[in-house]
Amino acid sequence: MMGKIVAILVALLGAWGSLAQIMPHVFQLRRDGRLVQFLWGPKSIWVAVMLAGFLLGWYIWSLEDRLSTTFSGISAIATSDSTGLRFASWWSSPDGSGCGAAVDASKLATRFRDAFEIALICGFADPKVDKFKDSRITVSPLFTPQTSLSITVPFSKTMSESLESDREATLKKIQPPLPKGTVISLQNIIWLRLVLLPKGFDASRIQTLADVTSHGGELAVEAGLGIGRNVTIK
C-alpha cells in the first residue's frame, strides 16, 4: 500500500510539473502566493512532521497484515496439501545417510484413513533427470495412519551410491585441483514426499515416484533440504 501511495504522489508531481510548463499562469506557484508562503514559511517544519507521522503510522498499522500474509503463504506451500497430511518437521540423519519426518495426520480424510497407509519417499534432486522417473529413491515401510507419527529410513543402496558418485564428480570439476589432505564440505539437495499407498501393499514395488499413482496410491505433501558431508581430498 505504501508503494502505491508513493507512486501516486510521484505521478501527481510529474503531471503538475508538466502542466506548469504548458500553462504557467495557472499551475506555476508564485513566490508571493499564499500556498508557497504556507509551505515554506515558519510552520513548514510542522507540516513535514505531520506528514512523516502519518506515513509512519500507516506503515505500522499495515505491518501486521503484511507479515501474516507472507508467513501464512510460506507455511501453506511448505507443509500441507489437499490430502490433509502435513509435515511437522523433516530432517536428514546426522551423518547424512538417511531421511526422516514428523508427520501430522490428524486431518487425513476418512476415505484415505480407512483404505491407505502412509510412507515417506526421499530422493536425490537432480535437474537433469525427471524426478518422477528417477529410480535413485528411498522408500520407507508403510505406517498405519495416526494423529502423529515419526518416520526415519536409511538411504537405499542405489541412492547412497548416487550421492557418493555425485560428490566424486564434483571434486573432479574443481580447478585447480586442491592439495591432498584439504577438507571441504559438499552439499546435496534431497526431496522428501509423503505418499498414501493401499493397505497391505508391498512398498518394495515402488521403484520411482510415478509408481505411486500407477499402483493406486496418492502423492501428498513435499519438502526439501540440503545435506552436507565433509570430504578429505586424497
Structural domains of the chain, ranges and CATH numbers in brackets:
2-79 (no CATH), 86-232 (2.60.40)
Give the chain's residues under pLDDT 50. Answer: 63-78
Q: What is the pLDDT of residue 34?
A: 58
Cell numbers at 173, concatenated: 570439476
Percent of the chain exceeding pLDDT 70 equals 66
Percentage of the residues of the chain whose pLDDT score is greater than 90: 44
For residue 202, the model assigns a pLDDT of: 96
Given a contact cutoff of 8 angstroms between Cβ atoms, the answer to whether 139 and 119 are in contact is: yes
Non-local (6+) Cβ contacts of 31 within 8 A are: none
Output the DSSP codes for 108-158: --HHHHTTEEEEEEEEE--TTS-TTT---EEEPPPB---SEEEEEEEPPHH
Q: Give the pLDDT confidence score for residue 82 in this predicted structure.
A: 78
Residue 5 is predicted with a pLDDT of 64
pLDDT of residue 15: 62
The C-alpha atoms of residue 94 and residue 80 are separated, in whole angstroms, by 25
